[in-house]
């Protein structure tokens, strides 16, 4: 697998991003730059390469799976509450 270029980061205003949108997208897609969009000098959003998004989603999926497995272990250890009882306790019936 080829080595990936180290991502750089730059902050630009949303106005500048609108004015140079094509260039911004090319820098992110092909140059693997990360662009922080600001408004009134405050960070607002980021434009990142699709590989970064895929990595974030994989990390979230891994964390979700870990939490689900922990919940299943806890349910096996402590038991569960029947849905009919929960509905009654919550006033849903």
Mapping DSSP to helix (H, G, I), strand (E, B) and coil, where does residue 90 land? Answer: coil
Per-residue pLDDT of 35-63, as tens digits, reads 999 999 999 999 999 999 999 999 999 99
Would you say 32 and 48 are in contact if contact means Cβ atoms under 8 Å apart?
Answer: no
Would you say 62 and 38 are in contact if contact means Cβ atoms under 8 Å apart?
Answer: no
pLDDT number for residue 2: 45
**Residue 7 binned pLDDT confidence (cut-offs 50, 70, 90):** low
**Residue 5 binned pLDDT confidence (cut-offs 50, 70, 90):** low
In sequence order, the 6+-apart residues with CB closer than 8 A to the CB of 35 are 9, 10, 11, 12, 17, 24, 27, 28, 46, 47, 48
Per-residue pLDDT of 11-30, as tens digits, reads 999 999 999 999 999 999 99
């Amino acid at each position: 697998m080829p080595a990936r270029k180290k991502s750089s980061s730059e902050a630009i205003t949303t106005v500048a991003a609108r004015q140079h949108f094509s260039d911004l997208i090319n820098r992110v897609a092909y140059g693997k730059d990360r662009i922080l969009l600001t408004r009134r000098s405050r960070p607002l959003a980021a434009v990142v390469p699709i590989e970064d998004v895929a990595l974030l989603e994989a990390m979230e999926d891994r964390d979700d799976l870990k939490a689900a497995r922990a919940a299943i272990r806890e349910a096996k250890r402590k038991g569960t509450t029947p849905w009919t009882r929960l509905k009654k306790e919550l006033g849903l019936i």
